[in-house]
Amino acid sequence: MLAFEITKQLRDFTLTLSLEVGSETYVLVGHSGCGKSTTLQILAGLVRPDEGHITLGSRVLEDTRQRRYTYPEDRHVGYLVQSYALFPHLSVTDNVAYGISRLPHDEQRSRVEDALQLVGVRHLASTRPGELSGGEQQRVALARALVRRPEFLLLDEPLSALDISTRARVRAELAAILGELDIPTVVVTHDYEDARMLGDHIAVMQRGQIVQTGTAAQIARSPASPFVAMFTGTNLAPRADREGGSIAFDPWRVRVTPHPTGAAHEWAAQVRDVARMGAFDRLRLEGHTVSLLADVPLDTADRRAIEPHQQVYASVSAEDIRPVAAAGSTADSDPDHNGTPERPDHMPLPLGRRGRGSTKRAVTLAASLLATLFVGGYAAFGWAPGTPGDAGTQAEAEVTALVASNMTDAFDALADRYTERHPDTRIEASYAGTQILFTQIQQGAPADLFISADRDYAERAANNGLIDDFTTVAKMKPVIVVPQGNPANLDSLADLGEQSLKLVIGVNTVPIGKYTRQVLHNAEHGYGNDFYHNVMRNVVSTDTDTKQVTQKAVIGAADAAIVYRTDVTPSIADKVDIIAIPQRYNETAGNYAAVLGDADHPEQARQLIKFMRSPKGQQIMSEFHYEPVRDTTR
């Protein structure tokens, strides 16, 4: 059983989901941008929820309250991405075997043969992706996801890359394959026909919320809202008689005439659109209180008498209607699949906060910042509920630090060592993207220390009078990371502009994205004026979080990624290879520390900065692959 209850603040709305998925296929369906793919990324561990938990049987994959997090590679998940992400230079067999390359050769061969047999492409074992049809590529990608024998499976728009002529056939084939599995499977799609064919159960999503769950038949029989009715192609209308309430009925049950018929359920409407669908036309009708679909056979007198934009009457007989509970309910939904969780009274800021000098963790949530929260810098990592008062005995001095989350691990180690030497000092650290931290201090969040991952924001803080000055406490350089074994056979930075490959980089509004683009421009001096543009043509994804960029290389969704060397943490070091960027083209990034002007403990904050820049502090930083800070200037 895969069970999750998650909350994530997105750009325009809050994603709030709660579901339990047994050994079945559960489809999340909704318009583009409603949070479906983000949900899969959270389940896979590529994106962190602001709040919530994910369990797989007795295993806890994530729990923000307990600060528990399982890395993607340890979740035992099969993940089929929209693009399929097949390596063009590898055969079908080698593509499928890529994720199990550490197993003994005989075990690899057996698993690959089983996976190819299951999805029906064993005869294509020696073929390369460029020679496959879209449907065949999809099945190979699915085999690669299954060959690791995952404990649950995630499919992101598995049919979106197919043309209309092959979509129906491949949909039926995929449904048959999924029916053979005995693991929790979550599929996301924007096409309700995909959901109807693939899903044992369906959850209809709208703006980050589940508005109805059930089987396809249950949802079509009793749509919970006009949105669900529209999405499923079912009509939902107010009763035209005196009983009140709503009724549902199918488009092919609707009769459309130029004149009223006197039926009990009849509405005046205008023909807004006509779509040819084989032997009938689908009419979209708009009335004062209804929006209806009507399927009218081509050879009927009624159809011949109807023209676009014409005023007509739509009616349905009493035996063809289904009474529906009040809009917004989930009547007739499966009671074992509870649909719409209540929205929490408030949303926590995505700040990871850690208390030093005690055995408990603490977080303080600033509700006033919710309106200004936006994505930037690095993604935040977890939070623990409580208040500073939970920490037990209060230390003599409590230094509050707002720290760019790229320094999470290193600052944890520094704070541990510092508080060992200074037992009279307690350190409370909140981790988030630099932009979020800057917004906090602008709005007067109480803090003593600000550590930025972006020099521009440090300078803005100084120019705004929030700090007097800042100093460099850490340096790091970008590198190229590739999946372990380097399947694209990349040797150098030059290859990024000379080969056809899938590259992932940071967006241009975060430090790693800025430095990446500067590196590419620098390299034009050696590789030609077109180098930057040639590389950017290979970019298939940009992210705000370098940890997400790195993870895409780890799972093989990209041939290469550009991140900081410090992002290659011990947990993934054996899953990627590193290609150095030539020193003459590379850039040096930094973390910049400053004491806030209204700090409660300015002297303790200055001492902590001094420790970070000391030989001992720099030695600790070097363990996380930071380069030494040798000067004493900015």
DSSP per-residue string spanning 342-388: PPPSS-----EEEESSSSS------GGGGGG----SSPP-------G
One-letter amino acid identity for 623?
A: E
Q: Are 562 and 568 in contact (CB under 8 A)?
A: no
CB atoms within 10 A of CB 233: 16
Instruction: Judge residue 326's burial from the number of C-beta atoms within 10 Å of its C-beta, 0-12 exposed, 13-18 middle, 19 or more buried.
Output: exposed
Could you say which DSSP state residue 395 is in?
Answer: P
Q: Are 1 and 20 in contact (CB under 8 A)?
A: yes
Q: b/e map of 343-377 (b: 16 or more CB within 10 Å)?
A: eeeebbbbbbbbbbbbeebbbebbeebeeebebbb
CB atoms within 10 A of CB 335: 8
pLDDT in tens, 466-517: 998 999 999 999 999 999 999 999 999 999 999 999 999 987 777 888 899 9
- Using alpha carbons only, what angle is made at residue 335 by residues 343 and 41, rounded to the nearest 5 degrees? 50
Cα gap 57→69, rounded to integer Å: 16
pTM for the whole structure: 0.51
**What was the pLDDT predicted at 431?**
80
One-letter amino acid identity for 51?
A: E
240 three-class SS: coil
Say how many residues make up the chain.
634
Could you say which DSSP state residue 511 is in?
Answer: H
CB atoms within 10 A of CB 393: 7
Could you say which DSSP state residue 596 is in?
Answer: B
**What was the pLDDT predicted at 585?**
95
- Using alpha carbons only, what angle is made at residue 244 by residues 242 and 249, rounded to the nearest 5 degrees? 105
pLDDT in tens, 377-401: 333 333 333 333 333 444 468 899 9
List, run by run, the mean pLDDT of 10-residue segments along the chain (634 residues): 94 92 94 92 92 95 93 89 84 89 88 89 92 88 90 91 74 85 93 90 94 89 84 82 75 91 91 81 88 83 73 91 60 37 32 37 29 31 33 62 88 92 88 77 83 90 90 94 93 94 85 90 94 91 77 86 90 90 94 94 94 94 89 44
Parallel/antiparallel/unpaired status of strands 59-63 and 265-277: unpaired
**What was the pLDDT predicted at 241?**
58
What sign results for the dihedral spanned by CA atoms 311, 317, 322, 324? positive
**What was the pLDDT predicted at 304?**
67
Chain centroid to CA 454: 24
How does DSSP assign 137-194, residue by residue?
HHHHHHHHHHTT--SEEEEESTTTTS-HHHHHHHHHHHHHHHHH--S-EEEEES-HHH
294 three-class SS: strand
Q: Are 309 and 285 in contact (CB under 8 A)?
A: no
Q: Are 510 and 542 in contact (CB under 8 A)?
A: no
Q: Which residues pair with 293 in a beta bridge?
A: 284
**What was the pLDDT predicted at 408?**
86
590 three-class SS: strand
Cα gap 113→19, rounded to integer Å: 34
Q: Are 5 and 18 in contact (CB under 8 A)?
A: yes
Domains defined for the chain, CATH in brackets:
2-219 (3.40.50.300), 232-324 (2.40.50.100), 352-475+590-622 (3.40.190.10), 478-587 (3.40.190.10)
Q: Are 178 and 25 in contact (CB under 8 A)?
A: yes
One-letter amino acid identity for 126?
A: S
Q: Are 511 and 453 in contact (CB under 8 A)?
A: yes
Cα gap 545→505, rounded to integer Å: 9
Q: Are 387 and 355 in contact (CB under 8 A)?
A: no
For residue 212 the two structure tokens come to 């109805």
Cα gap 492→567, rounded to integer Å: 19
Instruction: Judge residue 261's burial from the number of C-beta atoms within 10 Å of its C-beta, 0-12 exposed, 13-18 middle, 19 or more buried.
Output: exposed
| Spatial CB neighbours of 12, under 8 Å, sequence gap ≥ 6 | 33, 207
One-letter amino acid identity for 103?
A: L
Look at the block and give the residue holding tokens 């150098």: 492
- H or E element in which residue 2 lies: strand 2-9
Helix axes 615-622, 408-421, angle to 10 degrees: 140
CB atoms within 10 A of CB 26: 23
Q: Are 332 and 223 in contact (CB under 8 A)?
A: no
Bin 445: left if φ > 0, else alpha if -120 < ψ < 50, else beta: beta
Listed in sequence order, the DSSP H helices in 446-510 are 455-463, 495-498
Bin 344: left if φ > 0, else alpha if -120 < ψ < 50, else beta: beta
Q: Are 604 and 448 in contact (CB under 8 A)?
A: yes
Q: Are 232 and 223 in contact (CB under 8 A)?
A: yes
- H or E element in which residue 618 lies: helix 615-622
Chain centroid to CA 286: 37
CB atoms within 10 A of CB 71: 15
Helix axes 105-119, 164-180, angle to 10 degrees: 120
Q: Which residues pair with 286 in a beta bridge?
A: 270, 291
